[in-house]
Amino acid sequence: MVESKPINFLVAGAQLLCAIIVMGLDGYAIHVYRGHEDEVDSPVYDGDAELYAGVPSSWGFLMFCAAWTFVVVIFRFFEPGLASRPLVGYLGIFFEGVAVLSWFAGFIAVAVNVGSSNSCTSGHNSCAEVKAATAFGAFEWLLFMITAAAAAMSFSHNRK
């Protein structure tokens, strides 16, 4: 978003705040997660085998989404100073698009993982934190939908 209106700063602040909250909640959940052994009856392992199930990868992807938020917001603050360069507008659209898609995929993947797998059945896991991180991830996706739409409209108006 090229214009520096106060509402843009509020939205960017909300995005950073949600990203920090998601990092804290998700990081704590990853830290305290207790893996478990699964008994597998498979011909590959000649019948019985024990497989260790660790931290779900979708939880780590949500951490990536939070880190990507910092990259996008920092770029957005430097974008007005670089507006004279032709590729900057395309980079802004690219960064916003990756953020929108990442947050959407991230919070959906974690919600599906928490709802359908046994990663939250153990009493030792921190499912409340992961569920809260998922809710903040959904809110973050909505915030990025707003900024991506504003960036796309600004980009299309500035090209004419």
pTM for the structure as a whole: 0.82
Domain range for 62: 6-159
Helix/strand/coil for 56 = coil
Instruction: Dig out the tokens for 159 from the structure.
Output: 């090209």
The answer to whether residue 97 sits within a structural domain is yes
Q: Confidence class of residue 160 from pLDDT cuts 50, 70 and 90?
A: low
The answer to whether residue 69 sits within a structural domain is yes
Total count of domains within the chain: 1
The answer to whether residue 1 sits within a structural domain is no
How many angstroms separate the CA atoms of 24 and 12, rounded?
Answer: 18
Q: What is the pLDDT of residues 95-110, one digit of tens each?
A: 999 999 999 999 999 9
Task: State the residue for tokens 């996008």.
Answer: 72
Q: What is the pLDDT of residues 52-85, one digit of tens each?
A: 677 888 999 999 999 999 999 998 888 777 766 7
How many angstroms separate the CA atoms of 85 and 75, rounded?
Answer: 14
